[in-house]
Amino acid sequence: DMSQEQTPSYWSYPSDFVYEKFSGEQEKDAEVLNYECFAIAKDWLEKGDRMLKSPEEYDGVKARCNVFEEVLARIEDEMYEVDMAIERNSCAMRLLEPIAEEAMRLRQQEEKDGQPIGRLQYALSPRTLNSIHIGAIARVYGEAGDEVIQHLMANALVVVPIVFER
Protein backbone atom coordinates (compact mmCIF):
# COMPACT_ATOMS: atom_id res chain seq x y z
CA ASP A 1 0.00 0.00 0.00
CA MET A 2 1.33 3.46 -0.90
CA SER A 3 2.02 6.39 1.43
CA GLN A 4 -0.34 9.34 1.29
CA GLU A 5 0.74 12.99 1.21
CA GLN A 6 -0.41 14.82 4.35
CA THR A 7 1.40 18.12 3.73
CA PRO A 8 4.16 19.08 1.26
CA SER A 9 6.78 17.80 3.72
CA TYR A 10 4.93 14.98 5.52
CA TRP A 11 3.62 11.64 4.29
CA SER A 12 1.67 8.98 6.14
CA TYR A 13 3.16 5.54 6.54
CA PRO A 14 1.74 2.84 4.27
CA SER A 15 -1.15 0.97 5.89
CA ASP A 16 0.90 -2.26 5.93
CA PHE A 17 3.92 -0.57 7.60
CA VAL A 18 5.00 -2.43 10.76
CA TYR A 19 5.83 -0.14 13.67
CA GLU A 20 8.76 -1.34 15.73
CA LYS A 21 8.16 -0.13 19.26
CA PHE A 22 11.11 0.03 21.62
CA SER A 23 11.20 -2.43 24.51
CA GLY A 24 10.60 0.11 27.28
CA GLU A 25 7.63 1.82 25.66
CA GLN A 26 4.67 2.54 27.92
CA GLU A 27 1.13 3.75 27.29
CA LYS A 28 2.14 7.33 28.12
CA ASP A 29 4.78 7.22 25.36
CA ALA A 30 2.16 6.51 22.71
CA GLU A 31 0.56 9.88 23.48
CA VAL A 32 3.62 11.77 22.21
CA LEU A 33 5.27 9.42 19.71
CA ASN A 34 4.45 9.74 16.03
CA TYR A 35 3.27 6.51 14.41
CA GLU A 36 1.33 8.18 11.64
CA CYS A 37 3.65 10.16 9.36
CA PHE A 38 7.26 10.93 8.44
CA ALA A 39 9.06 13.99 7.08
CA ILE A 40 10.71 13.95 3.65
CA ALA A 41 12.54 16.35 1.37
CA LYS A 42 10.79 17.60 -1.76
CA ASP A 43 13.45 16.11 -4.03
CA TRP A 44 12.89 12.65 -2.55
CA LEU A 45 9.63 12.04 -4.29
CA GLU A 46 10.87 11.51 -7.83
CA LYS A 47 13.80 9.31 -8.71
CA GLY A 48 14.03 8.56 -12.37
CA ASP A 49 10.75 7.42 -13.82
CA ARG A 50 9.12 6.11 -10.65
CA MET A 51 7.73 7.72 -7.54
CA LEU A 52 9.16 6.73 -4.18
CA LYS A 53 6.50 6.48 -1.52
CA SER A 54 8.08 4.24 1.09
CA PRO A 55 10.55 5.35 3.78
CA GLU A 56 12.65 2.25 3.03
CA GLU A 57 13.25 3.50 -0.52
CA TYR A 58 14.67 6.86 0.60
CA ASP A 59 18.43 6.86 -0.03
CA GLY A 60 19.33 9.41 2.66
CA VAL A 61 20.24 12.29 0.33
CA LYS A 62 18.10 15.18 1.48
CA ALA A 63 17.84 18.70 0.12
CA ARG A 64 16.68 21.01 2.88
CA CYS A 65 13.55 22.89 1.96
CA ASN A 66 13.55 25.96 4.16
CA VAL A 67 15.46 28.00 6.71
CA PHE A 68 14.06 26.04 9.65
CA GLU A 69 15.26 22.74 8.24
CA GLU A 70 18.69 24.29 7.62
CA VAL A 71 18.93 25.46 11.24
CA LEU A 72 17.71 22.10 12.55
CA ALA A 73 20.22 20.25 10.38
CA ARG A 74 23.06 22.53 11.54
CA ILE A 75 22.12 21.98 15.19
CA GLU A 76 21.99 18.21 14.65
CA ASP A 77 25.42 18.33 12.97
CA GLU A 78 26.87 20.35 15.85
CA MET A 79 25.35 17.98 18.42
CA TYR A 80 26.86 15.05 16.54
CA GLU A 81 30.28 16.73 16.52
CA VAL A 82 30.06 17.41 20.27
CA ASP A 83 29.04 13.79 20.93
CA MET A 84 31.97 12.57 18.86
CA ALA A 85 34.41 14.88 20.69
CA ILE A 86 33.12 13.63 24.05
CA GLU A 87 33.54 10.02 22.92
CA ARG A 88 37.09 10.67 21.63
CA ASN A 89 38.05 12.34 24.92
CA SER A 90 36.48 9.52 26.89
CA CYS A 91 38.40 6.96 24.83
CA ALA A 92 41.68 8.81 25.46
CA MET A 93 40.91 9.02 29.18
CA ARG A 94 40.18 5.27 29.37
CA LEU A 95 43.56 4.61 27.78
CA LEU A 96 45.47 7.10 29.95
CA GLU A 97 43.87 6.21 33.28
CA PRO A 98 45.88 3.02 33.99
CA ILE A 99 49.06 4.72 32.76
CA ALA A 100 48.41 7.71 35.05
CA GLU A 101 47.80 5.37 38.00
CA GLU A 102 51.05 3.54 37.26
CA ALA A 103 52.93 6.85 37.01
CA MET A 104 51.54 7.99 40.38
CA ARG A 105 52.48 4.65 41.95
CA LEU A 106 56.04 4.90 40.58
CA ARG A 107 56.35 8.50 41.76
CA GLN A 108 55.16 7.54 45.26
CA GLN A 109 57.66 4.67 45.27
CA GLU A 110 60.48 7.11 44.37
CA GLU A 111 59.47 9.41 47.23
CA LYS A 112 59.24 6.47 49.64
CA ASP A 113 62.70 5.21 48.63
CA GLY A 114 64.20 8.70 48.98
CA GLN A 115 65.10 8.85 45.29
CA PRO A 116 65.07 12.14 43.38
CA ILE A 117 61.64 12.64 41.84
CA GLY A 118 61.67 12.30 38.05
CA ARG A 119 64.72 10.04 38.06
CA LEU A 120 62.84 7.29 36.25
CA GLN A 121 62.28 7.76 32.55
CA TYR A 122 59.16 6.03 31.29
CA ALA A 123 58.52 6.38 27.56
CA LEU A 124 55.32 5.28 25.87
CA SER A 125 55.51 2.87 22.99
CA PRO A 126 54.66 4.65 19.73
CA ARG A 127 51.77 2.20 19.31
CA THR A 128 50.19 3.04 22.67
CA LEU A 129 48.33 6.06 21.34
CA ASN A 130 46.46 5.92 18.05
CA SER A 131 45.37 8.90 15.96
CA ILE A 132 42.06 9.25 17.85
CA HIS A 133 43.83 9.50 21.22
CA ILE A 134 46.48 11.89 19.89
CA GLY A 135 43.84 14.09 18.25
CA ALA A 136 41.74 14.22 21.43
CA ILE A 137 44.72 15.19 23.59
CA ALA A 138 46.00 17.74 21.07
CA ARG A 139 42.53 19.31 20.76
CA VAL A 140 42.37 19.87 24.53
CA TYR A 141 45.67 21.77 24.45
CA GLY A 142 44.94 23.76 21.28
CA GLU A 143 48.02 25.27 19.66
CA ALA A 144 50.32 23.63 22.21
CA GLY A 145 48.85 20.19 21.45
CA ASP A 146 51.74 18.97 19.30
CA GLU A 147 54.27 19.96 21.93
CA VAL A 148 52.28 18.21 24.66
CA ILE A 149 52.13 15.02 22.56
CA GLN A 150 55.93 15.14 22.06
CA HIS A 151 56.51 15.52 25.81
CA LEU A 152 53.94 12.81 26.51
CA MET A 153 55.79 10.32 24.33
CA ALA A 154 59.24 11.32 25.65
CA ASN A 155 58.50 11.39 29.39
CA ALA A 156 55.15 9.81 30.09
CA LEU A 157 55.84 9.43 33.81
CA VAL A 158 55.69 13.19 34.33
CA VAL A 159 53.24 14.23 31.60
CA VAL A 160 50.51 11.55 31.69
CA PRO A 161 49.15 12.48 35.15
CA ILE A 162 48.93 16.14 34.10
CA VAL A 163 47.19 15.34 30.81
CA PHE A 164 44.84 12.90 32.52
CA GLU A 165 43.81 15.50 35.12
CA ARG A 166 43.11 18.11 32.46
pLDDT, tens digit (0-9, with 9 covering 90-100), for 81-122: 999 999 999 998 998 898 888 888 887 887 787 776 666 667
Higher-confidence residue of 107 and 137: namely 137
CB 120 within 8 A of CB 158: no
Query: Could you give phi then psi for residue 35, rounded to 5 degrees?
Result: -115, 15
Specify the pLDDT at position 49: 47
Residues 6 or more apart whose Cβ sits within 8 Å of residue 154: 123
Amino acid at site 156: A
Q: Where is pLDDT greater, at 44 or 146?
A: 146
- Residues in Cβ contact with 118 at an 8 Å cutoff, skipping those fewer than 6 apart: 110, 157, 158
Higher pLDDT, 69 or 138: 138
- C-alpha span between 150 and 70 (Å, rounded): 41
Q: What is the pTM of this model?
A: 0.53
> In this predicted model, what pLDDT tens digit does every residue of 23-81 receive, in sequence order?
677 778 777 777 777 776 555 555 554 455 555 555 555 555 667 777 887 888 899 99
CB atoms within 10 A of CB 13: 18
pLDDT of res. 20? 75
